[in-house]
A and B are shown apart, each in its own frame.
Chain A
Amino acid sequence: MRNDLTEKLAATYERIERLEPGLHALLKVVKTGPNPITGPLASMVGTIKDVVITEGVETTAGSKMLKGWIPPYEATLVKRLKAAGATLVGKNNCDAWAHGSSTENSDFGPTKNPWDVTRVPGGSSGGSAAAVAAGYGDFSIGTDTGGSIRQPAALCGVTGLKPTYGRVSRYGLIAMASSLDCPGPLARDAATCARVLEAMAGNDPLDATSVPNKPFSAVKIKKSTGNQNKPLSGLKIGLPKEYFGEGLHSIVRVRVQDAINELQELGAELVEISLPSAPAALAAYYIIQPAEVSSNLARFDGIRFGHTVTKMANGEWRMAKSKLNHIELVKQNRAEGFGDEAKRRIILGTFVLSAGYVDAYYKKALQVRTLLRQDFARAFETVDVIATPTTPNPAFKLGEKTSDPLSMYLEDIYTVSANLVGIPGVSVPCGFVEQKTELPVGLQLLGPMWGEETILRAAYWYQQVTAWHTRQPAILENQIASKSQARGDNEQS
């Protein structure tokens, strides 16, 4: 077993070395031996998004504010993965502070989509999705505040799960929006996501928002409710008309509809539903999220840790600290340490929370959040799962949306509701849009609070009868082909 893992690790590092120059899915490769612990994840290799703190391993959140920062403690989820036997080999690139839908906001350069390196992998967990698609191990841990696991999973053709809020500890997560942030797994298939979730899930005394007594069992997702041909018998799937309207790419619509038909073939019953407040979700999200961002990013002052204007990267003093008073120094540290998107969200969040506007914006958004929760609660009285597209479009070109922040924000249109409501959602590969290259499409399955078992079960059985999740990008096949070619040449010589 150990020897297998040693070989697997060597192959993973070799693949990373070969593909990484073209993809940039990692900010750091962690060279390590096989994890000696024999646990449920003993043979598994994974990577971790760089907003998750790893003790003794540089953690930057994709921002130069934290370049060179070596955390003195470990995130609970990392501790649990290691204790379950997983071997962790790298930190994934992401949009700085997880702000973005393309990884183009990373201060260290974007990640490329393995299916087409001229396109974005999605974001903010774009490095995680690209790493899984490129075969850098079995899984990656991403974080999802408005779609940041599901959207890149869809764009890179992998499976990505946003758990119920409170299912996985946020301790050691560099906070973006604390009432929305959910760490979760990305992997090729739903069964692997379930195993990784099982290892991470559960109450943590270090996170007061992690909910007690909510165990999750990975084996249960394989349970069939019908006979061999109709394993999803009795499952009711709601199709919200608000998610299939204007703005949805015509081929994406067809692929998602095909997937829904497949679920029906598996025994599920389809029900038309309505979520009247859903169209307003993105607007509420772009008030609540920046409000929480502006508060969470206030801690980065460059005094206790992080980027400071007084010291250069090599440790030499650039200017005497005594020349600036405290406020001036903090302002300058933050001005240099934060990129454009963080500044945009800090100012927007400060505005919606400022005296005179807090009622019109922030309070209003919190009320709309209540309406949205009521919509979903009502829907889940009649259905078990809600099926929608994960994104309106396949992967877009690098640079296509960077000059227009609002068009980038619209990428989250189908995903933000789950975060505002707190419910779990999984994105499942369901086909391709054929352009010059094949671009993956994702089906989103949403469940009620603590409904991971239900949505993963639907995803698991879907993946038993389809092969979309097993498809690999050409970049990988070409590399493998050229490698075996090279090996063949060597043998001849």
Chain B
Amino acid sequence: MTDISFDVAHLAHLARLDLTATEQARLAVELAKVLTFVDQLQTIETEGVAETAQVTGLVNILRDDELRIKNDELRIEELQKQREKFLVAVPEVEQKMVKVPVIL
């Protein structure tokens, strides 16, 4: 496993990160070191061992599907207030909407 060569440029694209050539070269060295360290796991026998992704054991925690504010007018007012609060942090807003550059 220690031999893996990884393509930092490709990973950076997947992670939507613009990395300079210097950053890519440094990360390749640092990550190789970390991966060599974590390779010790390969010596542990895990055949048939279940995976643990969470520790609470809670499953499908759902809330009741009911309106928090039942009055339509009050609800709209509340949502508008919330929208105003959130739009304050948006870098570019047009007509009370988040402005996004072209996708394609």
A405 contacts B by Cβ under 8 Å: yes
Does the CB pair B34–A286 fall under 8 Å?
yes
Known contacts A179-B54, A303-B100, A334-B18: does B1 contact A360 (CB below 8 Å)? yes
Partner of B46, one of A208, A283, A367, A406: A367
Q: Does B21 contact A (CB under 8 A)?
A: no
A366 near B30 (CB under 8 angstroms)? no
In the complex the two chains form, is B34's CB within 8 Å of A373's CB?
A: no
How many chain A residues touch the partner (CB < 8 A)?
70
User: Could you tell me the distance between the alpha carbons of A435 and B67 in the complex, rounded to whole angstroms?
Assistant: 63
Interface size class for chain B?
35 or more
- Contact yes or no, A366 B34, CB < 8 A: no
| Chain A, interface SS category | helix
**Quick one: which of B14, B18, B51 contacts A363, CB cutoff 8 A?**
B51
| Cα–Cα distance between A308 and B98 once the two chains are bound (Å) | 13
CA distance A179 to B53 in the complex (A): 7
Contacts of B58 in A (CB 8 A): 166, 208-209, 211
From 205 to 235 in chain A, residues with beta carbon under 8 angstroms from any chain B beta carbon are 205, 208-209, 211
- For the complex, give the distance between the alpha carbons of A405 and B33 in Å: 9
Q: Is B92 an interface residue (CB 8 A)?
A: yes
Chain A residues within an 8 Å CB radius of B74? none
A183 to chain B, nearest CB (A): 15
A402 on interface, CB distance cutoff 8 Å: no
The digit string for A66-99, where 1 denotes a CB below 8 A from any CB of B, is: 0001101100000000000000000000000000
A343 & B49 in contact (Cβ 8 Å cutoff): no
Q: Which residue of B lies closest to A373 (CB)?
A: B52
What is the distance, in angstroms, from A37's C-beta to the closest C-beta of chain B?
A: 24
Instruction: Answer yes or no: B71 CB below 8 A from chain A CBs.
Output: no
B100 contacts A326, C-beta separation under 8 Å: yes
Q: Which residue of B lies closest to A419 (CB)?
A: B55
Contact A330-B46, Cβ < 8 Å, known A325-B102, A366-B51, A409-B34: no
Q: Is the CB of A422 within 8 A of B100?
A: no
Check B99–A321 contact: CB distance below 8 A.
Answer: yes
B15 contacts partner chain A, Cβ-Cβ < 8 Å: yes
Give the chain B neighbours of A368 by CB distance below 8 A.
41, 44, 46
CA A325 to CA B17, docked complex, whole Å = 14
A94-135 residues at the B interface, CB under 8 angstroms: none
Would you call A370 and B23 a contact (CB within 8 A)? no
**How far apart are B55's CB and chain A's nearest CB, in angstroms?**
3
- Find out whether the CB atom of A165 lies under 8 angstroms from the CB atom of B49: no
The answer to whether the Cβ of B38 comes within 8 Å of any Cβ in the partner chain is: yes
Q: Is the interface of B mostly helix, strand, loop or mixed?
A: loop
Q: What string of 1s and 0s marks CB contacts (under 8 Å) between B57-68 and chain A? A: 010010100000
- B95 contacts A by Cβ under 8 Å: no
Do B51 and A350 have beta carbons less than 8 Å apart? no
- A311: interface (CB < 8 Å): yes
Interface presence of B69 (CB below 8 A)? no
A331-B17, A343-B23, A346-B17 are contacts. A310–B92 as well, Cβ < 8 Å? yes
B12 within 8 A of A: yes
Which residues of A are found within 8 Å of B35, using beta-carbon distances?
351
B100 pairs with A344, CB closer than 8 A: no
Question: Which residue of chain B lies nearest to A361 when distances are taken between CB atoms in the complex?
Answer: B38
Q: Mark A469-486, 1 if CB is under 8 A from B, else 0.
A: 000000000000000000
Q: Which of A209, A330, A332 contacts B56 (CB 8 A)?
A: A209
Q: Find chain A residues with CB under 8 A from B19 CB.
A: 335, 343
B25 CB–A CB distance under 8 Å: no
Mask: chain B, 1-39; 1 = CB below 8 Å from A; 0 = not = 100101010011011111100010001001101110111
Query: Across the interface, which residues of B come within 8 angstroms of A277, CB to CB?
Result: 44
Interface residues of A in 300-332 (CB under 8 A from B): 301-306, 308, 310-311, 321-322, 324-332
Q: Is the CB of A367 within 8 A of B90?
A: no
Interface centre among B40, B52, B82, B99 (most CB of A within 10 A): B52
Residues of chain A within 8 A (CB-CB) of B49 are 367, 370-371
Query: A372 to B55, alpha carbons, bound, how many Å?
Result: 12
Q: Which of B27, B42, B88, B100 contacts A70 (CB 8 A)?
A: B88
Contacts of B51 in A (CB 8 A): 363, 366-367, 369-370
Bound-state CA distance A348–B90 (Å) is 29
Verify B90–A331 contact, CB threshold 8 A: no
A280 within 8 Å of B by Cβ?
A: yes
Give CA–CA (A212, B86) in the complex, Å.
Answer: 30
On whether the beta carbons of B56 and A211 are closer than 8 Å, the reply is yes
A18 interfacial contact with B, CB 8 Å: no
Q: Which of B12, B34, B91, B101 contacts A311 (CB 8 A)?
A: B91
Q: Mind listing 10 A-B residue pairs with CB under 8 Å? A: A209-B56, A277-B44, A298-B16, A303-B90, A325-B102, A338-B17, A347-B8, A365-B41, A370-B52, A422-B56
Question: A283-B41, A347-B17 given. 19 additional CB < 8 A pairs?
Answer: A70-B88, A179-B53, A179-B54, A211-B56, A280-B44, A284-B38, A284-B41, A287-B41, A311-B91, A322-B102, A326-B101, A338-B17, A350-B15, A354-B11, A360-B1, A365-B41, A366-B53, A367-B50, A421-B55
Mark B residues whose CB is within 8 Å of A: 1, 4, 6, 8, 11-12, 14-19, 23, 27, 30-31, 33-35, 37-42, 44, 46, 49-56, 58, 61, 63, 82, 85-86, 88-92, 98-104
The 6 closest A-B pairs by CB, nearest first: A422-B55, A366-B51, A72-B85, A335-B18, A305-B89, A367-B46
